[in-house]
Structures are given as structure tokens and as C-alpha cells.
Amino acid sequence: MDPNPDTALDAWYGAALGQSVLGIEAALVRRALDDVFGFEFLQLGAWGRGPALLAGARMPHATLVAPHAGSGVTLRAPLDMLPFASDSIDAILLPHTLELVEDPYGIVREAERVLCAEGCLLVCGFNPLSGWGVRRLLARALGRGVFPPQIRRLLTERRLRDWVAVLGFDVDQVSGYLSPLPFAANAAGEGHERSALTAGAYLLKARKRVQTLTPVRKKSWARQRVLIGAAEPTTNVQR
């Protein structure tokens, strides 16, 4: 582990590789938000320097929520207990947030609670099956600290798909980005978007499913008698 993970992560943001990653992600998030409208947009978790990822939002209220103070953080709150009413938020961005917390599923569950019907969820994650995952394992094995700094775990795109499906989301798209090899010189690869299976990272975009209520009709007693084949009562007595 790094002796000071906050300092290590800040240094990573400032290095060539970190800057390349942040620039690519800002462009992808902006593009993914082209058809997302509403009033309230949240970024859960600080990633990068300041609210650069919020710049692409078309909503008048954009809030960066994090459990600790930092550059661009406008609201301090636990990410698994957000101070917002249920069904009140139009879009939520999780930029590698699930990789930085102890309970990633709890964060997705809380995001589902506060998103309104048809609300948009965007999640950025590094692909553990790419060179990024391999470099992370090598760094740990050689005692060279966590790569990237502060990352607790990497989630596959398939596991994330399963989580959001269970919580009532429909996946719109999954876009791969970053070269499979984590080097600054070729981080973008050939263009920003790649196959999610071979790319170094992925951006998942999902919509909260609209729950439709099916009215339950009361069954009449006459209908029940027909269904169970009950005999009609009679007052005639045969002598």
C-alpha cells in the first residue's frame, strides 16, 4: 500500500498517463450525455482534479458528491446514504467510484434509489482482463503500491451488467476505451472507442426501468364457483 494514497493519486492525475485517461473520459462522458436531459445531475466520488467530468451535463444543477472535502466537491455525504429523496435525480455518474469503495454494490443500489424513472446511470471502470488488470496484479506482487493508486478492486463489465439488471436497469450501451496496455504513449489507442472486451476501460450507460403496476381484479364469488366447479345449492328434498 502507498504510505500516502491521496498524494499518490494526485501525482498520478498529474502524470502523463493520468492526464491522458482523464481527457479521454471527459470526452466520452460528454458524448454519452448528449441525449440525457433533466434538472439534477450527480457525480458520486471525486475523480480527477475538480469537476471536469461535470462539464458535459446539459442539466442546470450538477453536484459533485464525495465523503471527504476535495477539489470541486460541492456536497460531502456518504455515497451509500445520499441526502436526496427517492426518484429525484435525472442522471448519475460513477467515475471509477465502484473501484474505490469498500461496498460497490451498495453504491449502485443507492444510485437506483435516488434516480427517477428513465434516469441515466453512467459508470467508468478499468477492465481487469486487460493489461491494466495485469499491471495492477504485478504492482501488488512486487510491492510497488496499488495501480492506479487507491483502487481497491476492478470489476468486469459482465459483473456490472448483472448488478444493474438485478436493480432494475436496462443497459443502453457499453463503450470500450483506452489501449489494453497502460502506457501514456498509446493510452488512447486507435481512437477513443474500442471493444469493451479488449479495451483497457469501459463506460457503461444504463436507464432505470419504468415500473408498471398491473391492477389486481377482485374475483367475484360466482366466478370462483365456476372455476372450482361448485354445485348450485337446492331446497328440493327427494322423498
Output the CA–CA distances (angstroms, integers) from residue 140 to 133, 136, 145, 192, in the order listed: 11, 6, 6, 28
Rounded to 5°, the CA angle 138-140-146 comes to 110
Residue 225 lies in a domain: no
Residue 159 CA, chain-centre distance (Å), reads 12
Higher-pLDDT residue of 88, 58: 88
- pLDDT of residue 2 exceeding 80: no
Residue 137 lies in a domain: yes
Output the CA–CA distances (angstroms, integers) from residue 203 to 70, 139, 178, in the order listed: 24, 24, 11
- Do β-strands 193-194 and 169-177 pair in parallel, antiparallel, or remain unpaired? antiparallel
pLDDT at 144: 78
Higher-pLDDT residue of 180, 214: 180
- At 5-56, the pLDDT tens digits run 578 888 888 898 999 999 999 999 999 999 999 999 999 999 988 888 998 7
Query: Is the CB of residue 188 less than 8 Å from the CB of residue 179?
Result: yes
**Containing domain of residue 79, as a range?**
5-212
Domain CATH code at residue 106: 3.40.50.150
Residue 63 lies in a domain: yes
Percent of all residues in the chain with a pLDDT value above 70, rounded to a whole number: 81
Output the CA–CA distances (angstroms, integers) from residue 41 to 69, 123, 151, 165, in the order listed: 19, 14, 24, 22
pLDDT at 85: 97
Residue 109 lies in a domain: yes
Residue 232 lies in a domain: no
Highest mean pLDDT among 85-99, 169-183, 198-212: 85-99
pLDDT at 51: 86
What confidence tier does 1 reach under pLDDT thresholds 50, 70, 90? very low
What confidence tier does 205 reach under pLDDT thresholds 50, 70, 90? very high
- The answer, as to whether pTM is greater than 0.85, is no
- At 162-179, the pLDDT tens digits run 999 999 999 999 999 998
d(CA 170, CA 112): 12
Residue 155 lies in a domain: yes
Domain tally, the chain:
1
- pLDDT of residue 147 exceeding 80: yes
Q: 155: closest CA among 199, 114, 125?
A: 125
- At 49-78, the pLDDT tens digits run 888 899 878 899 999 999 998 888 999 999
